[in-house]
Structure 1
């Protein structure tokens, strides 16, 4: 905040396709689909029209108790039909962080309903990002998001993101009888774009079954064609107990998220009287947001962005790997999903005092918007990006790296 107050603001005034315009009329390539969410690109009139039609008919109304609306019902049925979860049920929320907290509470409440209230511990991974609500902040795998807030939810722990053995060691340390659930993203996104080692999720799924732990997949970043399928986790052939989703479900046109849970997890609440899951939010199931999501999913399917994204994944990987030889670059991570990370060397960051923010600023000055985290530049463009636009993005990032290298 202090840094932002020292200079002019970057005011985004217009967007179309993969492009943004600021209030001076200058154009920029949106290299991150805003915050990983604008999968179908900006300015889709089909979504705007769907929002207008819905808000003109039924703008909003609660879905508490037995209240419902057609867009919420239709969206839930559509998502359940594609979810790699046994006998799926859907809980709608207003975004990813809210959905993570819903899943965490549901996991704990499930075990209490099963007569095992001591099973409240939640395990997550280093680098994992699960939003910044209460449970999400407590489980996040990056210390900078946890410090300075006092005591958070304490029955949580974080294990190495690439080790099934580390997860089992932590389960045994805590005690399997105390562990409620394990949270993991299919690809760690905001923490630096880390793909799992071969066989990782198969091993995790087996481990969770062995110890009776709920396996919860956070697909907020990875879903809705960013990995060539509906929820990302399908790439690894496993079936979790719950899936958390948001972002690409509406391509960010209106806020929406949710949890898809297995019938087994839903059973105590659906089939046993007097045993409610006492949880909900004011705008969950918002009909206008659900209408936007339905129009967005129509685009994903009509334009087959599930297949297109696999082609873009290969093109992006080929292009961004050319940066691996740059003197400031330690590692390029890409090749699974339409996302990539360009990590700077330890020498650049620590000895030379270079920051990723400098590279971000140089890229933006040249017309490309990326995402800077402490050690890497992140890339996650809209799924409608072309090969020429990918080449422009990568060549601009190289020019930004060159400028920073020369300055230091």
Structure 2
């Protein structure tokens, strides 16, 4: 044993995600059940879920309609793969419904198990597209500073959060990636010029950055990205894993901002987290090449065992009906107004540097000497789950079923926690 060796800490067999283990052991909260906008720990604490889990519990927890949809489907067929000539009826049905909702006209729908899968598929498809088009130099995938696109190899490689990229012995797990400015569209143009449009396959962007700190697009920024991509013949991939299916008050943020992407990735909100499911909308300019009636038509080698999982698709179909039945997209637009008004009341607090919001998602940025993690810990003690993000920012993204009063209580509790910790 080496001198000054540190003891190995004991803990549960489960290795937590995205965790510095010594910091979380013995202070982990075990959630055992949910009800609406609330979850309950094994210690009996009731917590308002102000983050909707990881941005996904849009219709709230433990809805019987979705449990029944899964139960009924499993009794009929749990799943069957969608490889080659085989399909299952639920995947076919869901894809047709999604195609009708897609902001991309006449799309094909690739289904998989979640957002990281979707990003991996979209980036690979972008590179495959240009190889087939006879432009093999177009291989670089651009993404934005502070971006989060999951943690598969491609998501790690295009991450704009450096701590998710570090420690793997190479600058980028998948080669040919680069970051562009999140705020300055002229800086984006300069980066594109430096790399050269003949070397760029695609640009991936969240319409509203989530994990990077809840950063809505600056005025004209997304339109600038669209113009750069169109002029440079660069594929535009919008990552709507967080924003898709109503989080912005529109079915997709693509519609809110009037964008025309070549691909859209989606996940979380398609089932509100009741089953793992994600996918990609693909525009005709990309998919048609793979559908031509010719002996030399190429194959795109994508797919996973649980792609188009029948039970997950059944849950998604019932969930989409539920969004409509409960009129939750108009409700998000109402809650956005309430949230913005409540956030405005925080502007008087010197320790709060900035509030940022769009739809039913917000980030509250704190002064550097005040720990966002300490505030979120204090809020747990007060009965609210929030989350610290990059930039010393606190995330708010409650379920769509949240009441006006619950929003006011949430922001009021945050205000009290910040004031109580300021100067400590």
TM-score category of the 2 structures, normalised to the smaller one:
over 0.9
Aligned to 1:351: none
Give per-residue Cα distances to partners, 1:20-70, cap 9 Å, x unaligned: 111122211000000000111111111000000001111011100121111
2:367 aligns to what? Answer: 345
Shift of 1:86: 2.8
Deviation of residue 247 (structure 1)? 0.2
Confirm or deny: 8 A CA contact 1:362 1:403 kept in the other structure. no
Matches of 2:146 and 2:48 in 1, distance apart?
A: 27
Is the contact made by 1:86 and 1:239 (CA closer than 8 Å) also made in structure 2? no
Name the residue aligned to 2:321: 298
Shift of 1:2: 2.9
* Residue 133 in structure 1 maps to residue 152 in structure 2: yes
Q: What is the distance in 1 between the residues matched to 2:168 and 2:419?
A: 38
Segments of 5+ residues of structure 2 without an aligned counterpart are 1-19
Q: Distance in 2 between matches of 1:229 and 1:2?
A: 38
- Can you list the C-alpha shifts for 1:47-99, whole angstroms capped at 9, x where unaligned? 00000000111101110012111111111111111111132000001000110
Q: Distance in 2 between matches of 1:3 and 1:301?
A: 44
In terms of fraction of residues, the more helix-rich structure is: 1
* Residues 229-275 of structure 1: CA deviation (Å, up to 9, x unaligned): 12211111121100000000000001000000001110111115441
Q: Tell me the SS of whatever aligns to 2:422.
A: helix
Provide the residue aligned with 1:310 in structure 2: 333
Q: Distance in 1 between matches of 2:266 and 2:351?
A: 35
The alpha-carbon deviation at position 162 of structure 1 amounts to: 2.0
Question: Helix, strand or coil: the match of 1:259?
Answer: strand
Q: Partner of 1:323: helix, strand, or coil?
A: coil
**TM-score between both structures, scaled by the size of structure 2:** 0.92
Counterparts of 1:252-331 in structure 2, within 5 Å, are 252-271=273-292, 272-273=294-295, 274-331=297-354
Within a 5 Å distance, the mapping from 1:56-135 to structure 2 comes to 56-135=75-154
| TM-score of the aligned structures, taking structure 1 as reference length | 0.95
Q: CA deviation at 1:320?
A: 2.1
Distance in 2, Cα, partners of 1:20 & 1:73 = 34
Matched, 1:360 2:411: no
Please state how far the C-alpha of 1:5 moved relative to its aligned partner. 5.1
Counterpart mapping for 1:89-238 below 5 A? 89-151=108-170, 152-238=173-259
Q: Which region of structure 1 is more displaced relative to structure 2, 191-200 or 380-389? A: 191-200
SS at match of 2:216: coil
Alpha carbons 2:114, 2:278 under 8 Å: kept:
yes
Number of the residue aligned with 1:378:
395
Does the alignment pair 1:404 with 2:421?
A: yes
State the Cα deviation string for residues 321-357 of structure 1 (Å, max 9, x = none): 21222232111112x21001111113x2xxxxx3211
Ranges in structure 1 where 5+ consecutive residues have no aligned partner:
349-353
Helix, strand or coil at the partner of 2:347:
helix
Matched pairs, number: 400
Distance of 2:341 and 2:90 partners within structure 1: 40
